[in-house]
Structure 1
Amino acid sequence: MHLPLRLRRGAVRAATALLAPLIRFRSIDPLPESRAHEGSPVVYVLQGPALSDRLALRLLCRRHALPDPDRRIVLSGQRHGTLHGLYRDSRQKHYTRSLARLLEAAAHAPGEDIRLVPVTIFWGRMPEREAGGLWRLLTADGWTLGSRLRRLLAMACNARAVEARLDTPLALRAPLTRYVETGRDPVPRIQRLLRRSFHRTRRQAIGPDLSHRRTLVRRLIHRPNVTAAIDAAATEQQQPRRGIERRALRYGFEIASNMSPPVLRLLYRLLGRLWQQLYDGVRVYGMEEVESLAGSHELVYVPCHRSHIDYLLLSWLLYRHGLMAPHIAAGRNLDMPLIGPLLRRAGAFFMRRSFRGNRLYGAVFNEYLHQLLLAGHPVEYFIEGGRSRTGRMLPPKPGMLSMTVDSWQHHHRRALTFVPVYIGYEKVLESNAYMRELRTGHKRRESPLRLLRVLRHLRQPFGQVHVSFGQPLTLGAWLDDHSPDWRRQSAEQPEAWRRKVVPALGFELASRINAAAALNPVALVATALLGTSHRTIETTLLYRQLDTLVALQRHAPGGERVRLPQGEPQQWVEHCVGLGMIEQVEQSLGTLTTAPDERATLLTWYRNNILHLFAAHALVAFAFRNNERLETTALHELIAPAWPTLRQELFLGDSELDDTRLARLLEAFAGEGLLTHDGTTWQRPAAHTEARERLHLLGRIIQPTLERGFLLLSTLMRYPSGAFDRDTLAAQSRQLAERLTLLQGLNAPEYYDQRLFSGLLDSLTEQGWLWHDEHGHLHFDQHLTGALQRSRLLFDPALRHRLTQLTASATPNGTADS
């Protein structure tokens, strides 16, 4: 028996008034504007008939001055409501007749341009699971609309965590006119558009349907690739196939995540409080572009890896902005008691450091990743492999990228887009551990006790965190640009094609991460202060140098999405003093800013976070260290040979330092008074001036990198081609670099990190300057000799002499000359 209309409306108004104090909207997307739909009738469409959603929508409209959902509009002489449900039952099988009647009436009222606004109300968020239980009743929304009892319980438990999504309004005039002209019924078409809108919104917010973990893992071993690996292992090891299947199952359970919505919600609240305790704030840039891609693209997040905080912070941010928390590839070393199960329920799936020699494990892991991507789950992994102990971007590992490319190549139903993410800290939790590992060369194994000890640092200030989303890379479009013939190549020679394309993809993603770097006060102060010889500078000069660094990035940025800091240099320096990164010493002639030895070593980590942004600027400045004046052409010839190696080491986006880029840099230098221009000649400032000092400090940023290259090449070419193998040369160069820091009285273990020399050799080999023979010895020709002779002009005589004398003790057998 239906109540009279007036009585029903009164009951709804009374229920709305009662619930108003209880319901809080955690997020509204997009933020409503009171005049957003002025000028045309607005009709709200909910997915289902739930009274709770209708009450929440009424409160939303009332609080934000949106058009009233209880009003009526007249079409073809009939009155119609402006609030409808797409489905009339929780099983989502039957459409409502009231909406169909509205659409039919609108088709015969061509003068009215009605706009349908799909609205989705989430009473919390929860991906649907096969497993039942009490939590399924009490927690948040899933894919099914749910029974009345479940909706009531969900509303009671989540009244203060309501999310509203208003999709793009659908104007009816154009589709209705087109379908009326053809004589076809327009209603099914409009219903399909609405259905897709609701599906896209739910997929974006709660992800695709989740199968139970046990079901998923058992399904893996029946996939063709895993089955083939099981058969091969049974044959090679001469063991029963059933035993190999059980091993594959163990691998699957060792790998697979067990994402739990209650744990996600709990972590969201706990982490929110942790960030408030640790940081002064989390600044986010570029999230809008990610939100626009979610739901229509398969997303793979590829952040830089500087701290264990990275994956927790990124998942928290995505969840906070209404996006599905990603499944995260984590090292097996984190699958430890207490910590491992919690991370697994937060979406982590674990991987071994190497698959080499274990084809079965590789096949299971590859298939698991493929199933995640195929189902549309967002995935996150660190292309560097591990955390950066030096603060700079590490060379990307090919494993996960290769598996992702292979999965998409064979089953690309939707666009797959990589989302680069730069995460910059003003003070990182693991800083002391990183310094210890650089000094000793040994990495401590993680344990629950060691990770929990971090809690004792919670009372220290850690400044702000900057999270910047870089330019997304859609795989198909990038392959078309990078290698238009990739489809034929991948079909004919798949392995050779992947070996070629995956490193290029890794470099592109690394450069896009770097291009989105954020300049924070600690990194800026570290960059300026470490340019001095004794890590001490007049505070007034420091202010001026900081201002210069930011101005250069403003006029000639080192990346497409560089984020500049807020505030003034004096505030930045005071902030760094408050964090304990630097000290100020009062002198009668003026205040000095200094960094003790231990802090100076730590500051190199923060300097390296943004070193790549100033590579081109510092290279130009360094060219004037030994040259008072240079013509533009001569300057380009002097610095161009060093650029490819710098680009490879620092993951710079510019393929070459062309004339246009150089001209922009020189104009920025002139604007800051660092160079003067006389026709075609550029001249450095006069000696003993502040501008000359600032130019010198800027050049010192890139000096360690250039010195390492000079040491390595000078060592190599003191002997005939083929005298050194790769490992010996890298080890010798590292020892020389360490000796140089000791002679200079520096405590800078990052300067002689052997991985930097190995990366430099990779770069020289890739560019064709070096090549290997069948015995692994390195060979070169007169082209490299000539390039070294030209590069000597970058160094002033004193520095050149010191470096040359240092390399005189190196020998191809790894011992010193007597």
Structure 2
Amino acid sequence: MSSNDDDPTRDSAPDLQILGDQVTFQPRSYIEERGGSDDNEEALMKNMHSFRAEPLQFLREVSLYVSGTGWRAYDSVIGRPIFYPGFSEQMMNSVVSAPLLRTRIRQLAEQRVETEEKEGWLDSKASNYPLKRAQRLAAIENGLKEVAQKMTSDMICKFESKPFIRSAYYVVTQLLTRAYHQGIHVSSEEVLRLRKVAEEAERKGQSIIFLPSHRSHVDYVSMQLICYRLGLALPVVVAGDNLNFPVVGTFLQHAGAMWIRRSFGNDTLYTTLVQTYIDTLLQGGYNFECFIEGGRSRTGKLLSPKFGILSFVLDSILSGRVKDAVICPVSTQYDKVIETEGYVTELLGVPKKKENLADFLSGGSSVLSLKLGRVDVRFHEPWSLRGFVDEQMSRLTPSPSNHNWEARTPENTKLRQKLLRTMGYKVLSDINDVSVVMPTALIGTVLLTLRGRGVGKSELIRRIEWLTARVRAKGGRVAHFGTLPLSDVVERGLEVLGKDLVGVITGLAEPTYYAVDRFQLSFYRNMTIHLFIAEALVSAAMYTRVKQGGGPENQDITYAALREQVLFLSSLFRGEFIFPSEGLESNLEKTLVGLEQDQVISLHRDAEGKPVTIGLSKEEREAGRENYDFYCFLIWPFIEASWLAAISLMGLTPPAGQGPDDIWIEAAKAQNSAQLMGKTLYHQGDLSYFEAVNKETLKNSYQRFEEEGILYTIKSKDSKLSPPRLRLASEWMPMRDPVSGRVVADGRLWAFTERIAMSRREGKNRRDGATVSTRVLRLTDELGAKLFAEAAGKEEAGKMSSEEIARVKQDIKEERRRRKLEGRARL
């Protein structure tokens, strides 16, 4: 065996580091200072010149960008030409004249004329009726065309000027590479592969659809810089119109942004217009980019896929208006995300502040003084969207080649939804496959998965070494740093995280580090959790026995009980995590074997080799349960959040004398009440993790409960006028004590919360069952009473008409029938 066989980077493609006006190979993603005579590493890309320090070099650099010298000219680009005068006008004309949009305008005009006829505005008995009708129809069509033109102008990306894009590239590079002072890193192998795909796509007239993860506003900036610097045609980026504020909106629109509304409502014309614009882009072979998660992840892990824009892209292919497009999933990872502090305030319930120019300018200036490490961007191997559709259809239908997508049938709707869902989760899985775990994520994960107040530096390094090995063993990628000692890598990671996240106590036998802001640090821990979700669920299921204490035999769990609890937890977190696709039995067996090989657990098998009981191994007990505890600590905050959401449902039991249909509670207020209860329980010692009051996790839990029929929710098409409202399903409704009127700790919902509590971390000063059935249950009942009192005081918001009740009952009946037919696993 050669000396290089143990090198974890031996099978890794070299990185390209992009910083300022240089692109260099970095074989091991290693940031190293230039030093001794034996230093054979090529110097890293430097920051762009500063006017104060080097005014002449600064002015020379600016002049090179203005004149478009060398690569800055952005002339030899792979892909469809975009920067030329008249581009926007040509695009707008193509959209407005598209058959799909013209047909929709004609239909809307016809519907309006028919309405006017019914209302008596047009006299069908008049002698000149045909002429009047034709004139009125033409007038409405012309009016709709004018509206469509205005909407198109406001929406479309306006690539027009090379001098502008050169200047924009220079400005954003200045901002980004000063904040992320170690540059943007990409894999040379992935870049070369992407360039070949881009050349083939250009030859075929196809678009590349980039589908990146979304953790920061920096995501689309880094993507544009990479495409610009490596000579790929810039993609048109789907952006929410909340960023379209004065000055900045215009700048972004000319740099690649297309603006869309956050909600389309019932605007058929606007919906068709978006579809038409996407058709036009894909038909023309223009590169395209949208974020698979919709908005930015405030928690650090991937969010569930959002299907809005994807549904337009898929419809372009299914309808035949576009032959094919290339899908390229993209992972963007950061040493530190600029917005995490703002994310924490949002997740704790503080309303999101509307974007504005003042904050943008002040934020941009403050970025210049930050030292946030580096950005890693990784490209999954691109794949054909048409090929994906054909493959899926061959599984779903007996004769896929003859399928008629034009027919508006329930079967077609169901097929579309299956294709969308499968595509969305495939993209997320692809992103996870190429994601790189950054040093800050390793540090954050270790700090939040250790018992005790703090950890010595030597122990911190030891656990990071273990975690790095586990990440690689699970097929993950770690940002490697060549020959730089791990202690130096950790030191740099701690510097990037800063004293506001990780504190250090000096003057002791060794420096001792501790988590200052656990909530914010959890963002970085969540970047690794997808790799270990199976081990975490098995460990949490085992904890139902381990927490009981006693001898090792008393803590063993039967395979049947373990499987049942793992199935329950997997179902509980189906919308929270991305699970392997092999199925429960295969995943469970593989996970158990892996944990056994790692000496975390011991398996007792029968004569046929099937596992009978599972327990902690002797080696793991002697090591203080450190590896087993690691997996538990990963999942416990999420179990705690689900338990909090579930116990808050007990408070949705209607007051005595009211029927279940009398009052419906606003969903947002119910979730806010759950969050308030969580904060109270945390400070009273009944909740172990403050992260459990995370607004997004609570919202996901409520969504999961709705999917399983525990909650019923009614939603109007305009959520601003009538926000979503909810109530407990009748079969899950707790009883009230006939004397005291208090909610009784019994029934189906109570059993459900107790099932979650079985895998909760045991508190130091509490006993879960007794605490919950008394003090906690009384608190949730009191908060629920306030919700019902407020809803009853607002009759128009809380109560429902008899027609609404009848419609909801019918919806509930259909939902039950659908769930029964699908045979979905119940929680």
Shorter-normalised TM-score: what interval?
Answer: 0.5 to 0.7
Aligned-pair CA distance for 1:736? 3.4
C-alpha distance after superposition, 1:564-616 (max 9, x if no partner): 544665334312331214122135444321122xx322212222233322222
CA contact 1:205–1:323 (8 Å) conserved in 2: no
The answer on whether the counterparts of 1:514 and 1:652 sit within 8 Å (CA) in structure 2 is no
**Where do residues 454-473 of structure 1 align in structure 2 (5 Å cutoff)?**
454=363, 455-473=365-383
| SS in structure 2 of the partner of residue 277 of structure 1 | helix
Is 1:757 the counterpart of 2:698 in the alignment? Answer: yes
When residues 357 and 292 of structure 1 are mapped into structure 2, their CA distance, relative to the original with a 3 A threshold, is: same
1:219 aligns with 2:127: no
Whole-Å separation in 2 of the counterparts to 1:420 and 1:778: 39
Match of 1:530 among 431, 441, 448: 448
The residue that corresponds to 1:77 in the other structure is: none
Separation in structure 1 between the aligned mates of residue 384 and residue 272 of structure 2, nearest angstrom: 26
CA contact (8 A) 1:332 1:351 kept: yes
- SS of the aligned residue for 2:504 comes to strand
Match of 2:148 among 244, 248, 252: 248
**Separation in 2 of the partners of 1:531 and 1:607?**
9
How much does 1:430 deviate?
1.9
Going from structure 1 to structure 2, the CA distance change for 1:718 and 1:271 (only over 3 Å counts) comes to closer
Match of 2:591 in 1: 665
- Residue-by-residue CA offset, 1:51-83 (whole Å, 9 max, x unaligned): xxxxxxxxxxxxxxxxxxxxxxxxxxxxxxxxx
**2:449 match: secondary structure:** coil
From 414, 418, 422, give the equivalent of 2:327.
Answer: 418
Distance 1:549 1:763 in 2: 31
1:287 to 163, 173, 191: 191
Taking only aligned residues, the RMSD between alpha carbons, in angstroms, comes to 4.1
- Structure ID, larger Rg: 1
The CA deviation at 1:324 is 1.2
Q: What residue number does 2:759 align with?
A: 794
Within-5 A mapping of 1:360-759: 360-411=269-320, 414-454=323-363, 455-484=365-394, 485=397, 488=403, 490-492=405-407, 493=409, 494-532=412-450, 536-557=454-475, 562-563=477-478, 565-566=480-481, 570-579=487-496, 580=498, 581-586=501-506, 588-596=508-516, 599-625=517-543, 626-627=545-546, 628-630=555-557, 632=559, 634-654=561-581, 656-659=583-586, 661-676=587-602, 680=611, 681-684=613-616, 689-716=622-649, 727=667, 730-744=671-685, 751-759=692-700
Matched with 1:133 is none
1:814 aligns with 2:779: no
Opposite residue 514 of structure 2, the aligned amino acid is T
User: Is the deviation greater in 358-367 or in 398-407?
Assistant: 358-367
The answer to whether the 8 Å contact 1:302/1:381 transfers is yes
Q: 1:300 to 1:571 in 2, by over 3 A?
A: same
| One-letter amino acid of the counterpart of residue 373, structure 1 | L
Output the CA distance in 1 between the equivalents of 2:84 and 2:297: 35
Q: Is the 8 A contact 1:438 1:750 kept in 2?
A: no
Match of 2:112 among 236, 239, 261: 236
Q: What SS is found at the alignment partner of 1:695? A: helix
- Tell me the equivalent position of 1:141: none
- Displacement of 1:258 in angstroms is 1.2
- Output the amino acid matched with 2:682: T
CA distance in 1 between partners of 2:208 and 2:630 (Å)? 42
2:52 corresponding residue in structure 1: none
Q: Which moved more, 1:228-237 or 1:642-651?
A: 228-237
Report the alpha carbon displacement of residue 539 of structure 1 after superposing the two structures with TM: 3.3
Please give the alpha-carbon distance, in whole angstroms, between the structure 1 residues aligned to 2:310 and 2:225.
Answer: 24
Task: Please list, as runs of the form range in 1=range in 2, the aligned pairs for 1:148-167 lying within 5 A after superposition.
Answer: 160-161=70-71
Contact 1:425 1:466 in 2 (8 A): yes
List aligned pairs for 1:263-342, cutoff 5 A. Answer: 263-279=164-180, 280-285=182-187, 286-297=190-201, 298-342=207-251
Q: Give how far 1:707 is off.
A: 1.9
Aligned residue in 1 for 2:4: none
Does the C-alpha gap of structure 1 residues 267 and 503 become closer, same or farther in structure 2, counting only changes over 3 Å? same
User: What is the DSSP-based 3-state SS (H/G/I as helix, E as strand, rest coil) of the residue aligned with 1:283?
Assistant: strand
Find the aligned partners of 2:671 and 2:348 in 1 and give their Cα distance: 18
Aligned position for 2:158: 258
Q: Any idea what the Cα deviations from partners look like across 1:487-545, whole Å, max 9, x if unmatched? A: 62634335554344334433332333233322111112112212346663343333333
Bigger drift between 609-618 and 787-796 goes to 787-796
Taking only the aligned residue pairs, the percentage that are identical comes to 23
2:124 matched to which residue of 1?
none
| Contact 2:652/2:728 (<8 A) preserved | no
Give the secondary structure class of the aligned counterpart of 2:628: helix
Does the CA contact (< 8 Å) of 1:738 and 1:749 recur in 2? yes
What's the TM-score, normalizing by structure 1? 0.68
Q: Give 1:703 shift.
A: 0.5
Determine which structure has greater relative contact order: mean sequence separation of CA pairs < 8 Å that are 6+ residues apart, divided by chain length. Answer: 2
Whether the 8 Å CA contact 2:326–2:385 is kept in 1: the answer is yes
* Residues in 2 aligned to 1:815 and 1:410: alpha-carbon distance in whole angstroms: 51
2:780 counterpart letter in structure 1: A
Quick check: 2:647–2:780 contact (8 Å CA) kept in 1? no
Structure 1 residue 325 displacement after superposition: 1.0
Kept after mapping to 1: 8 A contact 2:340/2:520: yes
Distance 2:616 2:562 in 1: 12
Q: Cα deviation per residue 1:430-480 (whole Å; 9 max; x = unaligned)?
A: 233223333343111112221111222322210111212235453233333
In the superposition, relative to structure 1, how do residues 709 and 749 fare at CA in structure 2: closer, same or farther (>3 Å)? Answer: closer
Distance 1:357 1:765, change over 3 A: closer
Relative to structure 1, the CA distance from residue 467 to residue 202 in structure 2 (aligned partners, 3 Å threshold; closer, same or farther) is: closer
Q: Distance in 2 between matches of 1:458 and 1:684?
A: 50
**Partner SS state of residue 328, structure 2:** strand
Rate the CA distance shift 1:250–1:163 in 2: closer, same or farther, 3 A: closer
User: Could you tell me the TM-score, scaled by structure 2's length?
Assistant: 0.67
- Taking a change above 3 Å as real, the CA distance of residues 592 and 667 of structure 1, as seen in their structure-2 partners, is farther
Change (3 A) 1:472 1:765: farther
Tell me which amino acid in the other structure corresponds to 1:284: V
Q: Contact between 1:26 and 1:161, CA under 8 Å: does it hold in 2? A: no
Other structure's SS at 2:436 match: coil
**Maintained 8 Å contact 2:639/2:760:** no
Distance 1:365 1:655 in 2: 37
Q: Tell me the secondary structure at the aligned position of residue 445 of structure 1.
A: coil
How far apart are 1:768 and its partner, in Å?
6.9
- Kindly tell me: are residues 429 and 585 of structure 1, through their superposed partners in 2, closer, same or farther at Cα, counting changes over 3 Å? same
Q: Is the 8 A contact 1:773 1:779 kept in 2?
A: no
Partner of 1:778 in structure 2? Answer: 729
- Deviation at residue 317 of structure 1 after TM alignment: 1.0
> Which amino acid letter does the alignment assign opposite residue 563 of structure 2?
H
Residue identity in the other structure for 2:779 = S
Gaps of 5+ in 2: 1-20, 26-63, 117-138, 202-206, 547-554, 606-610, 716-725, 733-746, 790-827
Q: Letter of the aligned partner of 2:785 in structure 1?
A: T
* Helix, strand or coil at the partner of 2:70: coil
